[in-house]
Amino acid sequence: MFGSKVKIDKDLLSRLKRVSDTAGYATVEEFITHILEKELQNFEGDESDEDIKEKLKGLGYIS
């Protein structure tokens, strides 16, 4: 999965599978890849690591 192993909580994986099936994705991996690519667009083009950290703080991902 994803070229290297990524551990995902069983409950989260179950939710991802349900949503990916409902949304019409061929696989849960395709759905996760789509989500990650979409999220990365928010950070691409940032000038520095500090810019990225500030965005992550603003989104509540880090404190």
pLDDT in tens, 20-44: 999 999 999 999 999 999 888 877 7
pLDDT value of residue 11: 96
Neighbouring residues of 27: CB distance < 8 A, sequence distance ≥ 6? 20
Query: How much is the pLDDT for 55?
Result: 78
- Three-state SS annotation for the chain: CCCCCCCCCHHHHHHHHHHHHHHCCCCHHHHHHHHHHHHHCCCCCCCCHHHHHHHHHHCCCCC
Q: Is the pTM of this model over 0.85?
A: no
